[in-house]
Amino acid sequence: MGSVASPPIRLKDGARLYSLLHPAAPSASGAAPVTVVLLHGWTLDNRLWRHQIADLAGRLGAPVRVLAFDLRGHGRSSATHGADATLEQLGDDLAEVIEQLVPEGPIVLAGHSLGGMAIMEYAHRHAAAFADRVVGVVLISTSAEGSSRTSYGLSPRLARVMRILEIQGAGLLARSGAWRPHRRLMPLLAPGVRWLVFGQRVDTSWVALTASMVGNAPLCAIGGFRPSVDLHHRVETLAAMRGLPAAVLVGSLDRLTPPACAETIARELPDADLVICDQAGHMLPMERPDAVTDAIVSVIRRASVDPAVRERASAQVHLDPAQPPDEVGAQRL
């Protein structure tokens, strides 16, 4: 699939986001093609999605646009500045990205880890736009319960201690600016990366790419987003996604967002496809690229079979612009 590097997206607060837009082939019917918006995980960038970008159009067999962008503080996007390293900000950023680059047509949102949490924040903070535009959701290796279930592959007691130490260390990193001193250390840290985020079968190219992405993340982003992840609790917001085609994927050996996280999400989305990838870890777009691509394709096809899905989602609740997001979510229940 050919790609076009869009000019940096300039947000209202001056931040710039790097994006790649993969345009769809012309549609014979003239209808606006679905746009798949891909949101990567914490410390990663748009390169996470290289398999899905390459395979999606051929696997779908229909016109589809794909938009991948580097989240604030990641990849080639602007560094964070302390107070803006939050999931709430990422949800607002997603709203601006859609407004600027996908002003019309149906949208399927696919998010990995932090990207999945950003989708939940978008649904929470921009409920009317979410209901009006989004026709499907794919949530991959993510959580609606923060890091409360993160195990690091350790016993529950040691995992709690590890979370505390990690959050304390994150505070120091968040104040360290846009430096990347760890970049040169990544070859030495590669074995730890391999153990933490991958499952049983690991290709060395996966580890190398992950190390490159992490090495490219500034310290302020690595540390800055960690407290927001810990405080992320959006189980109730998942109600905004009920009735939409959805898929939830997780690796059976995921040490960061274990299967229990996916099971919680799936309970709130009873019509979603729950896919547990045997012996895989946290990096499913690399470890199980076909499973991730197939899930996105399935959601698109389910949405296209029922063209009224967006209208049904919009009709589930009368949206009052002055109404707080939590009250909107409550009405959806």
SS3 readout for 273-290: EEEEECCCCCCHHHHCHH
pLDDT at 309 over 60: no
Look-up: residue for tokens 């090495």? 215
CB of 196 within 8 A of CB of 256?
yes
Q: Is the pLDDT of residue 257 over 90?
A: yes
Task: Write out pLDDT tens, residues 83-125.
Answer: 898 999 999 999 999 999 999 999 999 999 999 999 999 999 9
How high is the pLDDT of residue 189? 86
pLDDT at 99: 96
Mean pLDDT rounded to a whole number for the chain: 85
List strands edge to edge, sheet with 246-251. Answer: 4-10, 16-22, 64-69, 34-39, 107-112, 134-140, 246-251, 273-277
Task: Give the confidence band of 126 by pLDDT, cuts at 50, 70, 90.
Answer: very high
CA 153 to centroid of chain Cα atoms: 22
pTM for the full predicted model: 0.86
What gap in Å lies between CA 19 and CA 35, rounded to an integer? 14
| Distance set, CA 137 to CA 57, 119, 181, 214, 275 (Å) | 17, 9, 36, 26, 14
Give the homologous superfamily in CATH for domain 4-332: Alpha/Beta hydrolase fold, catalytic domain (3.40.50.1820)
pLDDT for 322: 38
> Which tops the pLDDT comparison, 3 or 56?
56
Burial class of residue 318, CB neighbours in 10 A (0-12, 13-18, 19+): exposed
Q: How far apart are CA 128 and CA 328, in angstroms?
A: 9
Query: Tokens 């985020």 — which residue?
Result: 197
Q: What are phi and psi of 147, to 5 degrees?
A: -100, 20
> pLDDT for 234-251, tens place per residue?
999 999 999 999 999 999
**CA 314 to CA 300: how far, in whole Å?**
18
Q: What DSSP element (H or E) covers 299?
A: helix 289-305
